Amino acid sequence: MRPFLRVLAACSVSALSAPLAAQERTLVFTHFLPGTGLDEVFVRPWADELTERSNGQLKVDIQGGDDWLGNVALQYDQVESGLADIAFGVTSLPRGRFICSQILEQPFIVDSRVQGNELLLHLFPEYLGAEYSNVKVLMLSAAEPGVLFTKGVQVRDPSDIDGLRIRTTSPAMGALIQELGGVPSTGAPELLYDDLAEGRLDGFFLEWWSFTQLNLADVVDYGIQLNATSTMNFVVMNQDIYDDLPADQQQSVDDMSLETFYARTNETWSTFWEPGQLEGLYSSMRDTFENEGGVLIRAEDAPRDAWIEAASPTIARLEQDLAEHCGQGIIDAAHAFLDR
């Protein structure tokens, strides 16, 4: 054999016997919030750690609410269909899809983000997982309980709701507002500013992060921190994309999922912040609202017991409806866990 052919053959055998290099992959991660706030404090640190854990093989392209895949109601659909590989969204939109997950939206069922996350982690294996069977669930997380903000009229007691047009974050809270004599409505958070400014709404429930990101302090006068309602966020991944990953890359994703995610979101929302830093941020947001002229009834001064008593008939009906769809077991399991 000629020398050149011997060298070529040797190289070919060597190439065949060497392990194949792992293939790099870029995952498209979409969410619905405008600007870069969520990217900076949550998505980008998460993405960077995923890249590090996968030895640089998994990279993440983040597309937020300002991009064409930023519709809040379509985040789950985009992952399911393959338009996005991973998405952060809310279970309350579109309505009626995640019925059993609405347990977290029951009025006054939890009073903090941490308590809500613990409840979700407890309920997920037996009662909630089936609602997400066609995707890879990376996280189900409780949002910070919403504050009731109003324009022109201060709300302190349940009777103050009578006649007010209130945007709610869930059908459950809509039912409570209606029971109290108010007029509930639904809609995307990005519509709140114009609806308040142009007189189509009197108030809304929203947590501090979104309230600040959307500059809503400009259009409201009052707030009351009832810790009355939470909403549920998800991070899900396209199942086919996950299944197509090599085993070591799947492990990198698994290491960033569920219990690991809960450990992050419970205490600091991200391990990249110091303990207590998130609460410090929320406290700063509350202080800013008051310093700019807003009147806030803080949680420790709000008559929460009176609101819970007024909400009792509504809560009983909502739990009955939930039990008809999901079984009484989820109600009993939630109460047993929260009363432990």
Q: What is the pLDDT of residues 205-260, one digit of tens each?
A: 998 878 888 889 999 999 999 999 888 889 999 999 999 999 999 999 998 887 66
Q: Are 79 and 135 within one domain?
A: yes
Domain count of the fold of the chain:
2
CA distance 65 to 36: 9
pLDDT of residue 5: 39
Helices 304-326, 328-338: crossing angle, 10 deg rounding = 140
Domain edge (last residue) among 242, 260, 278: 278
> Which residue reads 């055998």 in tokens?
13
pLDDT of residue 41: 66
pLDDT of residue 251: 94
* Domain membership flag for residue 105: no
Q: Are 123 and 250 within one domain?
A: yes
Q: Are 138 and 251 within one domain?
A: yes
Q: Are 171 and 246 within one domain?
A: no
Q: Are 136 and 43 within one domain?
A: yes
Beta strands per DSSP E along 93-177: 135-142, 147-150, 165-167
pLDDT of residue 40: 66
Q: Are 180 and 207 within one domain?
A: yes
CA distance 7 to 96: 66
- What are the beta bridge partners of residue 297? 224
Give 118's contacts (C-beta < 8 A, 6+ positions apart). 262, 266, 337
Q: Are 151 and 210 within one domain?
A: yes
At residue 156, φ and ψ (nearest 5 deg) are: -125, -50
Q: Are 240 and 117 within one domain?
A: yes
82: left (phi over 0), alpha (psi -120 to 50) or beta: left
The conformation of residue 296, written as its DSSP 8-state character, comes to: E
pLDDT tens for 77-96 read: 999 999 999 999 988 878 78
CA distance 92 to 103: 11
* Domain membership flag for residue 106: no
Q: For residues 100 and 333, is the Cβ–Cβ distance under 8 A? A: no
Q: Are 257 and 287 within one domain?
A: no
* Domain membership flag for residue 3: no
* Domain membership flag for residue 85: yes
* Domain membership flag for residue 2: no
Q: Are 49 and 72 within one domain?
A: yes
* Domain membership flag for residue 268: yes
Q: Are 261 and 301 within one domain?
A: no
Using DSSP's 3-state secondary structure scheme, residue 44 falls into helix
* Domain membership flag for residue 11: no
Q: Note down the domain range covering 240.
A: 23-95+113-142+232-278
CA distance 326 to 134: 18
* Domain membership flag for residue 122: yes
Q: Are 225 and 88 within one domain?
A: no
Task: Going residue by residue through the chain, which has 340 residues, state the pLDDT in tens, using 9 for 90 and above.
Answer: 544 434 444 444 344 433 444 589 999 999 987 765 666 667 888 888 899 999 999 999 999 878 889 888 899 999 999 999 999 998 887 878 899 998 999 999 998 888 888 899 899 999 999 999 999 999 888 888 889 999 999 999 999 999 999 999 888 999 999 999 999 998 878 899 999 999 999 999 998 878 888 889 999 999 999 999 888 889 999 999 999 999 999 999 998 887 666 665 554 444 444 445 556 667 788 888 988 899 999 989 999 999 999 999 999 999 999 999 999 999 999 999 999 8
Read off the CATH number of the domain in which 119 is found: 3.40.190.170
pLDDT of residue 284: 80
- Angle, CA 112 vertex, CA 218 and CA 95 arms, to 5°: 70
Beta strands per DSSP E along 133-246: 135-142, 147-150, 165-167, 183-185, 203-206, 222-224, 232-238
pLDDT of residue 312: 96
CA 269 distance to own-chain centroid? 11
pLDDT of residue 301: 94
pLDDT of residue 281: 66
Tally Cβ neighbours within 10 Å of residue 264. Answer: 22
- Report the b/e string of 210-236 with b at 16+ CB within 10 A: bbbbbebbebbebbbbbbbbbbbbbbb
